[in-house]
Amino acid sequence: MEDEEHQLACEWARSLLKRSDWVILDTETTGLGPKDEIIQIAIMNPEGRALLDTLIRPSQPISPTASAIHGILDADLLSAPTYKEICSRIEKCLKGKTVVIYNADYDMRLLMQTHSRYNLRPIMLNRQQIQCAMLKYAAWRGELWPDGSYKWQKLPGGDHTALGDSRATLQVIKMMAEELT
């Protein structure tokens, strides 16, 4: 089963790289909780060009724990646009695209949470449009927990900026497609 899952992850990456109808999305946030929001977002095309790369001024302070991870401080966001001001740009970048995210459940939760915080209509994405590169990479690596599930892997080359992590995700996809270990 492990070899089959590894091969499926390779095939997923190869098929993705043959297409142009997808983007990579990554965010940085005020924290991890149910009231936290996005403070940085990047959306990148398959060629590695940033379609959107911006800081976002939140309605609350950044937790010290989050700042320690991504290095973004409240003062860095004073002149940044609000989420409400850039929401239409996000939707335009995602419209009709497959959205690849490293840890999709987390980023999608924060995207929807932030959207809701500003009383915006939900972003129209269906589950088939969202693909998790972290789960594919975990299967490709094949490291198992005692319960038989794949061990999630830290994003290799990630730098805890939205654009840097998007670039690292693209490199992981290319690595899986090339069958490098």
Per-residue pLDDT tens digits for 140-179: 999 999 898 899 999 999 999 999 999 999 999 999 999 7
- Between the alpha carbon of residue 106 and those of residues 90, 119, 167, 181, the distances in Å are 17, 20, 18, 26
pLDDT at 114: 96
Contact between residue 133 and residue 60 where contact means Cβ atoms under 8 Å apart:
no
List the alpha helices (DSSP H) in the chain. 2-17, 64-70, 83-94, 104-117, 133-141, 162-178
- Between the alpha carbon of residue 47 and those of residues 69, 96, 151, 166, 167, the distances in Å are 27, 17, 29, 11, 10
pLDDT at 3: 85
pLDDT at 1: 53
Whole-angstrom Cα distance, residue 70 to residue 92? 26
Residue ranges for the chain with pLDDT beneath 70: 1-2, 180-181
pLDDT at 2: 65
pLDDT at 180: 47
For the chain, which domains are there? 2-178 (3.30.420.10)
pLDDT at 148: 85
